[in-house]
Every structure is written in structure tokens, then in C-alpha cells.
Amino acid sequence: MTIQWEQIAAKYSAHRDSTIPSFMKLKTIPYKEVLNVTNVPATCGLLSPRELELTEKYDATALADLIKERKTTSVELVTAFCKRAAVAQQLLNCVNELLFDEALEQATKLDEHYAKTGELVGPLHGIPVSVKEHICVKGHTATASFLAKAEVIAEEDADIVETIRKAGGVLFCRTPQPQSIMQLETSSNLIGVTVNPFNRKLTPGGSSGGEGALLGIRASVLGIGSDIGGSIRSPAANNGLFGYRPSTLRLSRKGCQGAVLGQESILGVVGPLAHSVRDLNLFMNTCISSKPWLNDASVVPIPWRNPDLPAKMRIGVIRSDKVVTPQPPVQRAMQMVIDKLEKSPKFELVDVEPMEHKYSWELISELYFLDGGKVYYDLFAKVGEPIEPLTEWILNQPSTKNHDMAGVWKLVTERDAYRNKYTKYLQSYGVDLILCPAGPGPAPKLGEAKYWTYTSVWNLLDLPSAVFPVTKVDPGLDVKDESYEPMNDEDAFHYQTYNPEDYKDAPVSLQLVGKRWDDENLLAALEKVVETL
């Protein structure tokens, strides 16, 4: 007998499948034993050589230049990326809804406008943009991957979506997030499990994992995600992308669906996933130049400023958070970057010891669920939705409990005290930036992403942070240290489950962290770092 939640999921999946035209369907799907599927779009026969060139060769900035120079059109770009996204969905389960007809209609209007007036609508004129599903798109569902919200239709675009449209961006694809939007994987009862294009036994990350997988296989050129504990940076790291968590309150979050609206103990942010640093800049500059504070009073009225970098940047290096030691591929990536930066006159490096990162997780995981998770459990119970293992795990952290108002005040006071203490601590090192791992290893195996602290600590401290790709796992180089003695149970888990062959082809990325509301300088510094590499 089919029960309520299964009926809801089946209806939703059927709609998703109906948005992919028959001429975009693969004739054969690679067997599950084929782990790396990044070459399938180029070999499946569905994309023309021109479409392969447009989707594989350029970043968003370059495509914007091609449109400006009349060397391509928005219709051509939208068609190419929709076809590639359809292929990606069949390989990775990374699409909630393909907006092919709507995107073509918008692209056609943009092309006609440019042909008639000779003027571009904005800096993203004609560029296909994908967006995480819980960020509202008018006239479409806004489930946030809760089956109880499957019939919720957005009445308005989220502010960030409206901004992208006004800048000329074309929304062409909506991507999945996990149940509860509180996983570093992407799995839900609504659409199933999303997998990594470089190795389908691994996760693309979460909660913006649909974006990560889609961009990872180059089926999108610019994506909009959100981040409250690593949800942009985890997918970026796992898929070899550039991902950016801005300072809170610099971009509008208005129009993002979730379980708890009005929660301010830990604020989430929206931000970009992209193929280059300059595309992160393009996104941030475009959005902040629109003056989002005029429509959302919570946004701080700080315009996008010109970077003001010191002649020699002092970078603090956190090699390990002293809770979970990074696995060999991450250690190698750290040393690769350190070696390069130390040879450059633009940087001075100094080792920094992490400050109470174990405590940071205890604190932030308590701040996430101030009602002990009741709102989530009520939503699941409403339609009998089963709770996924990673949702159960995050909702049942040791510090999670239901707080009265006095308890909330006490906890927020502890948050602010930790932020102030850490700020002074970093000032004692005199560093401009922090270089650190983006996670304990490359993309985790499915079901195993249970360590957030390499990213979540910067959410707790509210520091902008960016992820950038460095290398890929090499089983010949990333050998397991059999003599290592783990520091604790979490460390033991990541040590014992590490086998370099399991992560073959997986990207390895690192993280650069800046000062609060100093986003411009962080991205400018990241560009200098990447140039040095």
C-alpha cells in the first residue's frame, strides 16, 4: 500500500522528469561501476561540438564577453547548458527542475533586446544561471526538500533571484538540497541521492550539493547556493570548484525557504559557486551593486569597494583543527600551496594554532536547533516522512536541546564571547588571512559526511571564506600513514576509513578565510593566491 509521503515523492519526481525533453534523454546510462562520468557529456552524442566548447571552455565572465562581442547568443548558451544539465541529471540526480521553456523565452527576449538597442541589460546579460531549490523562483515549488512543503508555490522571486534576472542572468535549472537542508550531503525522500561526477560512490557535498554536482560536470557556469555550516564550500571543495561564503548581511536572504524562519542565532547566507575567482567577483559585484539594502533592511549598506591589499599579505596557516587530522590528500594539498606561497614575495606565512574548535562545534550545533529540532520533527510527522540518517545525526548532537528564552540569551552570549575571544586571538598573530583545509578529506563516501568543523567554525565566527581547487587524489602519493595514532573517536573514524583507491579522481581543495565584511579583499587575495599557484 502506497503511503502519503511516497505519493508526494512520486508526484514530485514525475514532474521533475517531465521537465527534461525526450530529445535530451541518453540512449544508455553508464553502469554504476563506472565511477567517473565527467567525460560522458562529451561522448554521449547529445551535444554538438559547439555546445561542448561553450560548456567546457569558458567561465561566466568569458561567456559574457562572447555575448557582448556577438560571438554567441543567450539562446545558444541556454540550449547548450540545458542539454548538458539534462545529461547531468541522468548521471548524477542533480536536477529538481529544468526550466528549458522559460529560459529559452527569457534568452530570446534578451537577444532581441541586444539586437535592437545595442545595449546589454546588465553584467550577466544572457548567462545561464542555476539555483538551489529552496531559493524561491516565482511560480515554482519551494519545498526546501520537506515533503510537507511539496505543494508550496513561491509567489515571488527571492531577492537574489530578482537581482540576477535584472542583471540579465537566465535561470535555467533548479537543483536539490538534502532533507532539512542540514547535511553535508544531498539526499532526500523527495528526489533521492545526488552523487559526485568524479566518483559516483562519493557525495557531491551539501547542502548545495545539486549545484556542486551540476557545476562539477560543467552543466552550469554559475550557481547560487546557501551556506550555514559549509553548504557552499563543501560542494565546491568536493567538485573542484570555487565557492564563496560571504559575510552575513551583505547579500539578501529574503525569499529563502526553510524549516525555521526568523532564526537569528546562526544566520545562513546566499552565495556563488563558479569556475573561477573572477566569476565569484562578478557575482558579488553584480549583487551588491544593485543595493540590496533598499529592498531588505537586514542587509548592511556597504557598497562593493575596491580592494586595498597590503604589499605583502600575512597568511596564518591552520594545518589541522586538532580534532580531526586531515587525510593525506589534504595534507599534500596544504604543503603544495604553502611551498608556492613561501617562494612568493607577496606573502608571509605563519603557523596558527586553532582555538577550541571542538568547543566551536558543540556551540554551533546547539545554536542550530534552539527548540531541540521540534519544528523539523513536526514537519516530518505531518506527512509521515521518514527521517534520513544524516538528518537524524545532526538533530541528535549531544548539545541539542529545547531552550527557553533565558537559555537562548545565554547561548547567544556564549557565541559572542567566543567570537570576541577568537578575534583577539587572531589579532595577536597579526594575520590578514587564514589558509586551512576545507574538510578532513576529499569528498566523503555516501553517508559518511559527519564532520563539519573545518567550515562551520567560520560560520560561527561570521568570517567570509572561499574554497578553491588545488589537486586531485593520487593513490601513489596520498599513502595512508599506518603509524598514525588517532586523537579521538572522530579522528579514528576518518583515519581508519581512509583508502586512497576509494577516492581516485576526487578533487582536493583548500579554504581561505578573511575578516568580517572584508569580502572584497578576501576575493582579491584569493586571486593573488591562485595566480601564485
pLDDT tens digits along 176-225? 999 999 999 999 999 999 999 999 999 999 999 999 999 999 999 999 99
Are 231 and 367 members of one domain?
no
Residue 292 pLDDT class (50, 70, 90 cuts): very high
Question: Is 479:327 a contact under the CB 8 Å cutoff?
Answer: no
Q: What is the mean pLDDT of residues 279-299?
A: 98
Are 273 and 317 members of one domain?
no
Q: What is the mean pLDDT of residues 39-57?
A: 98
Are 204 and 323 members of one domain?
no
| 18 belongs to an annotated ligand binding site | no
Q: What is the mean pLDDT of residues 269-282?
A: 98
The string of DSSP letters for 152-170 reads: -B-SS--HHHHHHHHTT-E
Q: Nearest to residue 77, comparing CAs of 63, 98, 89?
A: 63
The mean pLDDT value of the chain amounts to 97
* CATH classification at residue 63: 3.90.1300.10
Are 356 and 400 members of one domain?
yes
Are 336 and 482 members of one domain?
yes
> In Å, how far from its chain's centre is CA 101?
26
Are 194 and 45 members of one domain?
yes
| 153 belongs to an annotated ligand binding site | no
Neighbours of 516 (CB within 10 A): 15
| Number of structural domains in the chain | 2
What does the pLDDT read at residue 259? Answer: 87
Q: What is the mean pLDDT of residues 293-306?
A: 97
| 509 belongs to an annotated ligand binding site | no
| 181 belongs to an annotated ligand binding site | yes
| 224 belongs to an annotated ligand binding site | no
Of 260, 294, 328, the residue at which a domain comes to its end is 294
Question: Is 221:275 a contact under the CB 8 Å cutoff?
Answer: yes
Is 373 within a domain? yes
pLDDT tens digits along 466-482? 999 999 999 999 999 99
Are 350 and 479 members of one domain?
yes
Q: Beta strand pairing status for 187-188 and 347-351?
A: unpaired
CA distance 423 to 298: 23
Catalytic residue numbers, as ranges: 132, 207, 231
Check whether 261 has a pLDDT greater than 90.
no
Check whether 1 has a pLDDT greater than 60.
no
CA distance 441 to 238: 9
Is 238 within a domain? yes
CA distance 27 to 194: 21
What does the pLDDT read at residue 2? Answer: 61
What does the pLDDT read at residue 34? Answer: 97
Residue 263 pLDDT class (50, 70, 90 cuts): confident
Q: What is the mean pLDDT of residues 316-327?
A: 98
Is 306 within a domain? no
pLDDT tens digits along 387-425? 999 999 999 999 999 999 999 999 999 999 999 999 999
Residue 11: give the domain boundaries. 4-27+38-294
pLDDT tens digits along 341-365? 999 999 999 999 999 999 999 999 9
pLDDT tens digits along 68-93? 999 999 999 999 999 999 999 999 99
| 265 belongs to an annotated ligand binding site | no
Is 457 within a domain? yes
